[in-house]
RNA sequence: UGGGGCGUCGUCUAAUGGUAGGACACCUGGUUUUGGUCCAGGCAGUUGGGGUUCGAGUCCCUACGCCCCAGCCA
């Protein structure tokens, strides 16, 4: 391919190119990724991370990892740890320590005093339901708080008392004095501070008033000298307020730009809902391999590269859309196909006896580690009179296009020999218990020099030498493209999203499988050791994604 | 006639006013010691209606459709 794709270009990079051209920010580019530590990051956040850090890389700028920790009720240290891990795992770096909104609480407080002094903010005694009643509706204007015209000195005194802890939760708020008639609800005297006597994960009990998002976020961006403050579409309505605060204070003023968040079919992306899956035990925690969390994808066997590639592929726009999860799966296959070592593993074994093969003999054969990469070399595998093949690689009564094993037919055992089925042995229930074949000694290595055509090639494992492992086959967590479309998404959980396979027979080389490596089980899919439950005595492999299967497609 | 956004193949995404292109999905065929990969090909789109223009996905008008907003959440 001779066309090198420009490292991500979209409507945001166009704005930046423009800004660099006009020297709006002195050709400086500084973004930030500002998660709230109230849950684990998911693939939607990955899009934002790739965007923000990617832009910094592209322009030789910076991107801050900043925790937007302004709500002590929801935030926990466990989440900041996981977020740091996830961003690092994706391969992005930031300068020094991660930043925290809570670092700026004192500064924000001072700015609030300034706003009060300007006559632009006031302490309001209304309770939250009263504020709600007076805010008006989408179509009708709100009414002004009776406390709106308190004197500056009274506001100052009251606000300081709020901070000092003289009031109960919810008793008072600090509000911006903007316009109760404004068509944009966000501008109807929004709350800047609420009273919360709660322990904060970083500041402990130092504060009992906490800034609201709109007040805090612009200041965080301003303090950090962010140039482009990139957020999702639902904040479009908040931009006038973002601008109002920074304009009123006459401080450094970044530009907020909104883009559409990622939606995936067969997936839910809301942190609140993912938390429910965790809390109600529908999944094995935030890192369950079926979860769209970054830690879940990691445990599933996804690679940072595949996620970044996916992120590049879906682009950045303002349309809200639903991306086909197949696109994500494809990104993984694309990455793994090139570098995953191949091994053979039989998930649902049936025994094959090669009747004309010498009893007790064990042969060592060469197997390619990766046909896509000659430098991956070869390995030794052992072959014997009895082997295992996949149960569905044999059919007694095959359809025309079936070119696997059946009575009288010849197939290739990959890297070994051609075998021909001579007899099917059944137990008293009529189930196939064993298959008898003969082999052609002249086809060692899996090739004949007489031009014979063998359509089918099967993977296999020697019954004389193998290891056993449990396999977890993962499928989509939900049955419907849009799990939230009809009622409760929990009702749409796919009962077959996890299939457990006990005692699969695997090549012995897998006994020293590394948890970091992802293997392709020939003809089956990509597998990785489960980072949580696998142990030396009980190997457990997760299927990251299956191989494309045009045979299965044909049978649909 | 509350405000703010958005409409391009089935899906995602490109196109200084100048041949509507790419990816995924789907379908053919070829190669293949993975029914994988790879290769070749195919299917398929500018929400509707007007206008400006030699020329409109792009500009204007209009209609329609979809999303977001009434937390002391972010």
Residue A244 pLDDT: 98
User: CATH number of the domain at A11-259, please?
Assistant: 3.40.50.620
Report percent pLDDT > 70 for chain A. 99
Residue A355 or residue A515, greater confidence = A355
The reply to whether A5 has its C-beta less than 7 Å from any atom of strand B is no
CA A132 to chain CA centroid, nearest Å:
36
Q: Which residues contact A450 (CB under 8 A, 6 or more apart)?
A: none
| pLDDT the model gives residue A126 | 98
- What integer best gives the mean pLDDT of chain A? 96
Q: What is the mean pLDDT of residues A22-48?
A: 97
pLDDT tens digits, residue range A391-420?
999 999 999 899 999 999 999 999 999 999
**pTM (two decimals):** 0.96
Band the pLDDT of A330: cuts 50, 70, 90.
very high
The answer to whether some atom of strand B lies closer than 7 Å to the beta carbon of A320 is: yes
Angstrom CA distances, A300 to A20, A265, A290, A492, stand at: 41, 18, 7, 21
Does the C-beta of A94 come within 7 A of strand B?
Answer: no
Pick the CATH number of A271-341+469-554 from 2.40.240.10, 2.140.10.10, 3.40.50.150, 3.30.300.130: 2.40.240.10
Helix A105-117 to helix A239-249 angle, to the nearest 10 degrees?
A: 80
Mean pLDDT value of segment A65-91: 97
* Structural fold of domain A345-459: Ribosomal Protein L25; Chain P (2.40.240)
Q: Residue count of chain A, please give it.
A: 556
Interatomic separation, CA of residue A445 and C1' of nucleotide B35, rounded (Å): 21
CA gap A100, A34 in Å, rounded: 9
Residue A3: the pLDDT is: 35
Return chain A residues 460..519 having CB < 7 Å to nucleic acid strand B.
none
Domains A11-259 and A271-341+469-554 in one fold: no
Q: Which nucleotide minimizes the distance between its C1' and the CA of A368?
A: B33
Residue A4 has pLDDT above 60, yes or no: no
**pLDDT tier for residue A2 given thresholds of 50, 70 and 90:** very low
pLDDT surpassing 90 at residue A1 = no
State the nucleotide closest to A170 in CA–C1' terms.
B72
Does A324 score more than 70 pLDDT? yes
- Residues in Cβ contact with A121 at an 8 Å cutoff, skipping those fewer than 6 apart: A112, A115, A155, A174, A175, A176, A177, A192
Cα(A57)–Cα(A242) distance, rounded to whole angstroms? 26
Residue nearest to nucleotide B7 (CA to C1'): A319
Residues of A annotated as catalytic are: 36, 261, 271
**Per-residue b or e along A208-230, where b marks 16 or more CB atoms closer than 10 Å to that residue's CB:** bbbbbbbbbbbbbbbbbebbbbb
Give residue-wise pLDDT tens across range A247-257.
999 999 999 99
Which single residue has its CA nearest the C1' atom of nucleotide B74?
A213
At A308-322, the pLDDT tens digits run: 999 999 999 999 999
- Over residues A87-100, the mean pLDDT reads 94
- How confident is the model over A434-486, as pLDDT tens digits? 999 999 999 999 999 888 889 999 999 999 999 999 999 999 999 999 999 88
User: Nearest residue to nucleotide B66 when comparing alpha carbons to its C1'?
Assistant: A320
pLDDT score of A56 more than 80: yes
Report if CB A140 to strand B is under 7 Å. no
pLDDT of residue A7: 64
Q: Give the residue nearest to nucleotide B25 (CA to C1').
A: A326
Greatest alpha-carbon span in chain A: 102
Report the distance from CA of residue A507 to the C1' of nucleotide B4 in Å, as an integer: 60
Q: What is the mean pLDDT of residues A373-390?
A: 97
Please give the structure tokens belonging to residue A430. Answer: 């009529």
Domain ranges of chain A: 11-259, 271-341+469-554, 345-459
């Amino acid at each position: 391919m001779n066309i090198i794709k420009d490292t991500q270009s979209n409507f945001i990079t166009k704005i930046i190119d423009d800004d660099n051209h006009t020297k709006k920010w002195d050709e400086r580019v500084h973004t930030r990724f500002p998660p709230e530590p109230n849950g684990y990051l998911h693939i939607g956040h990955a899009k934002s991370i790739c965007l923000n850090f990617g832009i910094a890389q592209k322009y030789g700028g910076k991107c801050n990892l900043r925790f937007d920790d302004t709500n002590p009720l929801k935030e926990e240290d466990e989440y900041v740890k996981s977020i740091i891990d996830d961003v690092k795992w994706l391969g992005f770096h930031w300068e020094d320590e991660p930043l925290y909104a809570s670092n700026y609480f004192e500064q924000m407080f001072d700015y609030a005093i300034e706003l009060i002094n300007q006559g632009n903010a006031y302490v309001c005694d209304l309770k939250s339901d009263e504020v709600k009643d007076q805010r008006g509706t989408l179509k009708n204007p709100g009414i002004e708080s009776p406390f709106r015209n308190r004197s500056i000195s009274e506001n100052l005194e009251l606000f300081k008392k709020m901070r000092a802890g003289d009031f109960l939760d919810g008793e008072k708020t600090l509000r911006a004095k903007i316009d109760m008639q404004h068509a944009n609800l966000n501008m109807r005297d929004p709350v800047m501070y609420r009273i919360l006597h709660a322990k904060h994960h970083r500041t402990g009990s130092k504060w009992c008033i906490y800034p609201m998002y709109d007040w805090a976020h612009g200041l965080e961006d301003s303090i950090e000298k962010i140039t482009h403050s990139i957020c999702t579409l639902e904040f479009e309505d908040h931009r006038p307020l973002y601008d109002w605060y920074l304009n009123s204070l006459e401080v450094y003023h970044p530009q907020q730009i909104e883009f559409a968040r990622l939606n995936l079919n067969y997936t839910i992306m809301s942190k609140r809902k993912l938390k429910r899956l965790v809390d109600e035990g529908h999944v094995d925690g935030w890192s369950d391999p079926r979860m769209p969390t970054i830690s879940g994808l990691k445990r599933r066997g996804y690679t940072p590269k595949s996620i970044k590639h996916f992120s590049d592929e879906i682009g950045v726009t303002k349309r809200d859309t639903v991306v086909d999860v197949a696109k994500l799966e494809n990104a993984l296959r694309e990455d793994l196909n090139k570098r995953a070592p191949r091994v053979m593993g039989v998930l649902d074994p049936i025994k094959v006896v090669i009747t004309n093969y010498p009893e007790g003999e064990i042969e060592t054969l060469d197997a390619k580690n990766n046909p896509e990469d000659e430098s991956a070399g070869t390995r030794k595998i052992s072959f014997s009179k009895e082997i295992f093949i996949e149960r569905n690689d044999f059919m007694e009564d095959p359809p025309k296009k079936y070119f696997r094993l059946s009575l009288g037919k010849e197939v290739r055992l990959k890297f070994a020999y051609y075998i021909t089925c001579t007899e099917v042995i059944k137990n008293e229930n009529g189930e196939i218990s064993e298959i008898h074949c003969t082999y052609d000694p002249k086809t060692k290595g899996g090739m004949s020099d007489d031009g014979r055509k063998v359509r089918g090639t099967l993977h296999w494992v020697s019954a004389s030498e193998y290891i056993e492992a449990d396999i977890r086959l993962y499928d989509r967590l939900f049955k419907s493209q849009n799990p939230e479309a009809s009622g409760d998404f929990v009702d749409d959980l796919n009962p077959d999203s996890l299939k457990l396979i006990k005692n699969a027979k695997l090549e012995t080389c897998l006994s020293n499988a590394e948890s970091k490596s992802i293997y392709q089980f020939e003809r089956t899919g990509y597998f990785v050791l489960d980072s949580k439950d696998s142990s030396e005595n009980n190997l457990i492999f997760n299927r990251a994604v299956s191989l494309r299967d045009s045979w299965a497609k044909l049978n649909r």
